[in-house]
Structure 1
Amino acid sequence: MLSRVYCASTIGVDARLIEVEVNMSGGVPKYFLVGLPDRAVSESKDRIDAALKNAGANFPRGKITVNLAPADLPKEGSAFDLPIAVSLLAVSEQIESDKLEKSLIAGELALDGQLRPIKGILPMVVEARDRGLEYVLVPKDNGAEAGVVDGINVVAFNDINEVMEWLEDENSHPIIDIDLESLFQKSGEHEILDFEDVRGQENVKRALEVAAAGLHNVIMVGPPGSGKTMMARRLPTILPPLSLDEALETTKIHSVAGLVEPGKSLVTQRPFRSPHHTVSDVALVGGGSIPMPGEISMAHNGVLFLDELPEFKRSALEVMRQPLEDGIVNISRARMSVSYPSRIMLVASMNPSPTGDWYDPTDTNGATNMQMQRYLGKISGPLLDRIDLHIDVEKVSFDELSAKAKGESSKQIRERVVDAREIQNRRFMGIENVHSNAQMNTKLARKICPIDDAGENMLKKAMNTLGLSARAYDRILKVSRTIADLERSEEIRSHHIAEAIQYRSLDREGWLG
């Protein structure tokens, strides 16, 4: 006898439909599991055996072959427990249902028959819908996450007994219905961090507003205690709210990594990831023997904050260059190649010198020129080339700290940022992979960012006088375009150029050379 049910396996941030085929014949009882299962899948037999017995069902006796097709695709994880168990029940005629052929089933079994949540359920549901299935059966804790996908019926269960009941009578459990509109409305109600709590630093807040408006990468340079980390953590509060498509993209990545909390539906706020400077190359970018997303992908559609940038391993920083440029991480292994999206806003911070103070060559107690070159040399030119804004952060004075008046709120700043992003959305409509000013290539930037003679002369004088590098030219054009968008100006004027030039301090002579 033969039975077949459907499951899915994640590859990158997408899923692939898997057929779980079970054949049973007479003879000496044996159990074969084929189809490139990993250890977790291979160990499923013992879990299924105990779960079925404790649920009042029987593990069938006979020569049983379980095939996970396609056979050349590696299978990993515990999501195959439930579909294998259901297929065993079907092949032994303990259940009969016409819904097996149009359902995707996924879940891990506890020894008592309870269902435990699994990773990657969201891309599995999307795959099931795209393949024309009608139902998805998942553990209770995965129900909210799975239910956000339109066009397919999701049913969640506590244990395998409930699954068996539903297969006999579909009215025994309701279809999950998630109100996406209310999810997004609630997402902004609990923001604790706000820019109104930041005293002083008006120039830095202005620079971060420009960065948020154009999705520009930022590096802040200032002594310890000047507020770099505090302001970086508030940056997501002024970014535009996530769209539904962005939320689904982001949740897919978090789902594959197993970071969606049980009972949660969508990631509705922009991620903020701040890895420690001891992070490995693989943990930062992604990979491993079984490829998994790294920090740069976990921050997709949000902010990746690297505090004390020179303390990170240079090798870890260098592998970020391609993902920062292309917005995607490509990982190749012998068995497969996967891609993870990494469209992020990079925010970095660093001290101005190894001692933490601003560099002064006349200070005998400060850092020497050789120490400065060694310290700043940890940041390569190609990486710095991908950072649009360099912001000097000074210490806050006592008068500013003790002031009772609050600063401008994140809500007020966000309104201007959203307006500027809407201008860019209209500008780049129909241009693939370009949604903001920072994503323009050189050719597009020269076309979109024409400047008049006054602006051209100012930029030429700045490059000659301040020693700005050639790589700063296009960056200044892009940032100037964003500043003009914030003012709703069609033309880039000289004062837009002047402000953008101020944000290139690390390109000046004496810094990185």
Structure 2
Amino acid sequence: MGFATTAAVALTGMEGHLVEVQAQLAASVPGFTLVGLPDAALAESRDRVRAAVLSTGIEWPHRRITVNLSPASLRKSGSAFDLAVAVAVLAGHRLLPAPGLDRVVHLAELGLDGRLQPVRGVLPAVAAAVGAGLSDVVVAAEDAAEAALVPGARVHGAAHLADVVRLHGGDLAHEPVVGAVSRPRPVPARRAVGDLADVLGQHEARLALEIAAAGGHHLLMVGPPGAGKTMLAARLPGILPDLTDDEAVEVTSVHSVAGTFDPGQGLLRRPPFEDPHHTATPASVVGGGSGLARPGAVSRAHRGVLFLDEAPEFSPRVLQTLRQPLEAGELVLHRAGGAARYPARFQLVLAANPCPCGMAGTDAGAGCGCTSLARRRYLGRLSGPLLDRVDLHVRLDGPTRADRVLGSAGESTATVADRVRDAREAARARHAGTTWTTNAELPGPWLRDRLRGEAGLLSRVERQIDAGVLSLRGADRLLRVACTVADLDGREVPTVDDVDTALVLRTGEHRG
């Protein structure tokens, strides 16, 4: 009887769990059993492994083979266990030296011809392995660059199962014939980043965009078609600062699991930008899929921007599912295969027309045939609880003739980005020693205690609460915006004018 073990990693959301892959070969009726709660894709690895071993020129053992994935109580999914299963079987058949294999992690899918194929989630999987004390990792050649991003990992990239056999000291009777076909890694094309100088006029909206970037605040823009809502939203990532090292690893891990990461570019250092179409389903926006849920647009936008253009046209189910991540900064998706937890701390930017036809309140508004009821119903699709979580509400008008003919270019992205960076650094220094990195994350009780000593600072906010203009949640968000306005102007503590500016940008109410 032969027995051998090696290691693999099972991902549950972003969390990696070390799995011991045990293979036992008994002198009995030939067969191949895979146990340990595998899903359908993993159960099919029996056929892939057998074909890959035969394609490598190794005789398949005619024994009763049992492979156990331990711990057996943890659900395993995907094809990333193929290589570990093959190595454990070959070691149990005495074709590979068994000592030390239990300290090596194998992560790759096997083709029928023995080629190693890349898999999703290599970065968080390797990070989990290194964190558990297993530094030696064998992956497909296409995944080697991604795995090498994990500090402390000793990565071995292999193109074929034969390379893995030789790596572990095994012998081959002859070299396998390997086809030249390779599977390209699907990576989305990078979008072009425009400059804020391209936006004509819209001074209040540009100010709101800068404040949103400096404090990590959510933003709603309402205006007619052509006012510049989409242009402004697309330029928000350009004025955001680069991700920190920890944030870059976190964001890159999400995109690795989602299969949208190009390892050739290294860690993702720029904030991501996601703009799903208004026909997107809830599963594509928040995450979903059979078995264990995959990350959706809200998680791919982690530490970046989620832009919903024509927001009232989105399904109400999609809009309501945003409420949890807006508050918690993460998503927990429960499926039959288990619960997956994904980070989702993004900046939400909503854009909407003022009415179904979009012409209300414009110079061409005389041609608007929408009734007042139709207008209310249209914007009413954005529920009160959702809008209460959006810090900045801005109404845009179409560019005037003066803007179009005589308007000079506004400040560039680089100029605004410098101010945003300085404001973020001031906030980060002030919050040193806490888990908060932006003003948008500040808890309400801490804010109120900090500002209570400022004479008259909170009285304006309290009057708005008494008048029903602001909820308690809205008041906290308004104070966070006031802190950001102060940071942009170089002040440690916001003033009454900063609170009034925040109030105007949230409610449109001017000082009185």
* TM-score, normalization by structure 1: 0.89
Matched to 2:375, the amino acid is M
Give 2:450's aligned residue: 448
Give 1:282's aligned residue: 283
* Preserved CA contact (<8 Å) 2:193 2:235: no
Give 1:480's aligned residue: 482
Mapped to 2, the partners of 1:363 and 1:398 lie a distance apart of 18
Give 2:424's aligned residue: 421
Flag the 1:448–1:238 CA change in 2: closer, same or farther, 3 A: farther
Give 2:433's aligned residue: 430
Give 2:33's aligned residue: 32
* Preserved CA contact (<8 Å) 2:193 2:234: no
Give 2:354's aligned residue: 352
Mapped to 1, the partners of 2:265 and 2:397 lie a distance apart of 41
Give 1:301's aligned residue: 303
Matched to 2:250, the amino acid is E
- Secondary structure class of the residue paired with 1:503: helix
1:150 has 2:145 as partner? no
Offset at residue 274 of structure 1 (A): 0.7
Mapped to 2, the partners of 1:45 and 1:464 lie a distance apart of 67
- Secondary structure class of the residue paired with 1:323: helix
* Preserved CA contact (<8 Å) 1:142 1:263: no
- Secondary structure class of the residue paired with 2:434: coil
Give the aligned length.
486
* Preserved CA contact (<8 Å) 2:447 2:476: yes
Offset at residue 261 of structure 1 (A): 3.1
Flag the 1:505–1:88 CA change in 2: closer, same or farther, 3 A: same
Matched to 2:8, the amino acid is C
1:2-401 map, 5 Å: 2-96=3-97, 98-168=99-169, 192-261=193-262, 263-289=264-290, 290-359=292-361, 365-401=368-404
- Secondary structure class of the residue paired with 1:504: helix
Of 495, 498, 505, the residue aligned with 1:496 is 498
Greater shift after overlay, 57-66 or 343-352?
Answer: 57-66
Give 1:408's aligned residue: 411
Offset at residue 273 of structure 1 (A): 0.6
* Preserved CA contact (<8 Å) 1:329 1:339: yes
Greater shift after overlay, 216-225 or 401-410?
Answer: 401-410
Flag the 1:26–1:231 CA change in 2: closer, same or farther, 3 A: same
* Preserved CA contact (<8 Å) 1:210 1:483: yes
Mapped to 2, the partners of 1:195 and 1:97 lie a distance apart of 61
- Secondary structure class of the residue paired with 1:37: coil
Taking only aligned residues, the RMSD between alpha carbons, in angstroms, comes to 2.5
Flag the 1:73–1:470 CA change in 2: closer, same or farther, 3 A: closer
After superposition, what is the alpha-carbon deviation per residue over 1:91-130, rounded to whole angstroms, capped at 9, x for unaligned? 1122225441221001011122111100111111011111
* Preserved CA contact (<8 Å) 1:208 1:235: yes
Mapped to 1, the partners of 2:74 and 2:313 lie a distance apart of 40
Offset at residue 245 of structure 1 (A): 0.7
Flag the 1:304–1:410 CA change in 2: closer, same or farther, 3 A: same
* Preserved CA contact (<8 Å) 2:214 2:420: yes
Mapped to 1, the partners of 2:216 and 2:421 lie a distance apart of 11
* Preserved CA contact (<8 Å) 1:25 1:62: yes
Please, which runs of 5 or more residues in structure 1 have no aligned partner? 170-188, 509-513
Offset at residue 240 of structure 1 (A): 1.3
* Preserved CA contact (<8 Å) 1:51 1:111: yes
Flag the 1:60–1:262 CA change in 2: closer, same or farther, 3 A: farther
Offset at residue 17 of structure 1 (A): 0.8
Mapped to 1, the partners of 2:375 and 2:233 lie a distance apart of 25
After superposition, what is the alpha-carbon deviation per residue over 1:140-185, rounded to whole angstroms, capped at 9, x for unaligned? 111111111111211111111111222229xxxxxxxxxxxxxxxx
Matched to 2:90, the amino acid is L
Same amino acid, percent of matched pairs: 40
Offset at residue 3 of structure 1 (A): 0.6
Please, which runs of 5 or more residues in structure 2 have no aligned partner? 171-189
Matched to 2:207, the amino acid is R
- Secondary structure class of the residue paired with 1:297: helix
Matched to 2:392, the amino acid is L
Flag the 1:128–1:507 CA change in 2: closer, same or farther, 3 A: farther
Flag the 1:341–1:418 CA change in 2: closer, same or farther, 3 A: same
Mapped to 2, the partners of 1:167 and 1:268 lie a distance apart of 36
- Secondary structure class of the residue paired with 1:477: helix
Matched to 2:31, the amino acid is K
- Secondary structure class of the residue paired with 1:15: strand
Offset at residue 201 of structure 1 (A): 2.0
* TM-score, normalization by structure 2: 0.89
Flag the 1:418–1:450 CA change in 2: closer, same or farther, 3 A: farther
Matched to 2:489, the amino acid is E
* Preserved CA contact (<8 Å) 2:451 2:457: no
* Preserved CA contact (<8 Å) 1:21 1:67: yes
Matched to 2:74, the amino acid is L
Flag the 1:286–1:365 CA change in 2: closer, same or farther, 3 A: closer
- Secondary structure class of the residue paired with 1:75: coil
- Secondary structure class of the residue paired with 2:65: strand
After superposition, what is the alpha-carbon deviation per residue over 1:390-428, rounded to whole angstroms, capped at 9, x for unaligned? 011121234434558543221221111111111111222
- Secondary structure class of the residue paired with 1:168: coil
* Preserved CA contact (<8 Å) 1:479 1:500: yes
* Preserved CA contact (<8 Å) 1:451 1:492: no
* Preserved CA contact (<8 Å) 1:199 1:403: no
Matched to 1:87, the amino acid is A
Greater shift after overlay, 467-476 or 240-249?
Answer: 467-476
- Secondary structure class of the residue paired with 2:33: strand
Offset at residue 211 of structure 1 (A): 0.7
Matched to 1:394, the amino acid is D
* Preserved CA contact (<8 Å) 1:214 1:482: yes
* Preserved CA contact (<8 Å) 2:357 2:368: no
Offset at residue 285 of structure 1 (A): 1.7
Matched to 2:372, the amino acid is N
Flag the 1:460–1:98 CA change in 2: closer, same or farther, 3 A: closer
Mapped to 2, the partners of 1:264 and 1:68 lie a distance apart of 34
